Amino acid sequence: MTLATTFLFFAIHSACIGAGNSSEKFVKVECKEEYHGVYGQQSLLQCNVKAVQNVTISTVTWKRVEVDTLLLEYHEDTFNLIPGFKFAEPSWNKNNTNVSLLLTNTKMADKGVYECMVRTDRGDDIATTSLSVKAMYLTPTMSSIPETNIKENTDVTIFCNSTGGQQIGLIWWFDQFGSNRTRSAELVAKETDDGLFSLSSRFKVLKATSSSTNYTCKVLNVNGAEEGMASFVIQFAVRELGSEAARLDSVSTTNWLAPVVVIGSLIIGLLIALLLFRKRSAQRARRQSTFPLMSDHQTDTRHDRDVETEGLNCDSPQNQHSSL
């Protein structure tokens, strides 16, 4: 009886395999054998369904062979995805034969063999591909203490952090003039959960001034190859710079305004003086014609003194004298 059951089992099993083999003639899943991913970046595992005719896909599953976990599943219009894994095609649907898998943030633990199974209205197929993961330091992130509103001539600490190295690396610092400032920095390396290393370098700028604000850090691996670089600009207090600019602006305004006001009032003064002078000389001419026979000089001198005491124009009495 046991033998009969076993036989039956094998018979059904081989029948299934036979059916599978025959359908492979119509549908085939094709993947490249091997992919190389980088820690912290996206990895694309490309697989395509090849078929003689147009097919409609009913099921797609992606899993890691070693751990047998389902990473992505499409079945009868429903999607079942694990965070970090998705179809590479942004709006994949059942007519799309590009069933490639995208790992959005590759981890060291993601390396291994992947299996893609596709079921269509014309048959099924399974294919495998493998992913290797290389670790590199990621583009560093930078920050400062204090963060913003930094005053001139105060000390600023700048951080340059990077993770993902397979061995302890180095961080070098440069200022905006390209000078190597690494000697003012202090490096701390730590091992992270996934067996990789994180680096944090502290760079102290003593009495920071706004004439030198841009600092660059470079991350190197244990072999001295550059793996990442970032720049940071010290955020000096904007308010003070703004009011300084406003002050400079008002100064420059008064700079040009002052001469204009002075010259303008001078011109107006001269015009008034000229008007008054002409009026006076007209009056005087009238008076002289009124007393043409008088030889009394007193009238004249008294009149001159009057003009002088009025002080409108010092030249006018003399002019009048000479004209007499």
β-pairing, 141-145 vs 112-120, is: unpaired
Binding ligand NAG by CB under 6 A: which of 42, 214, 243, 319? 214
The residue among 20, 95, 87 whose CA lies nearest residue 57 is 95
Query: What is residue 20's three-state secondary structure?
Result: helix
Q: Rounded to the nearest whole angstrom, what is the least distance from the CB of residue 178 to ligand NAG in the complex? A: 7
What does the block give as tokens for 24? Answer: 């492979």
Q: Rounded to the nearest whole angstrom, what is the least distance from the CB of residue 270 to ligand NAG in the complex? A: 55
Binding ligand NAG by CB under 6 A: which of 126, 233, 261, 268? 233
β-pairing, 154-165 vs 197-208, is: antiparallel
What does the block give as tokens for 131? Answer: 């992913």
Per-residue x/- track, 161-200, ligand NAG (CB under 6 A): x----------x---x---x-xx----------------x
Binding ligand NAG by CB under 6 A: which of 88, 117, 168, 273? 88
Residue 231 engages ligand NAG in binding (rule: CB under 6 A): yes
Distance CA 92, CA 63 (A): 18
Rg (CA), the chain: 46
Of residues 102 and 273, the one with the C-beta less far from ligand NAG: 102
Specify the DSSP class assigned to residue 69. E
Binding ligand NAG by CB under 6 A: which of 89, 186, 194, 310? 89
Distance CA 296, CA 288 (A): 12
Residues that bind ligand NAG (CB under 6 A): 46, 48, 53-54, 88-89, 93-95, 98, 100, 141-143, 159, 161, 172, 176, 180, 182-183, 200, 214, 216, 231, 233
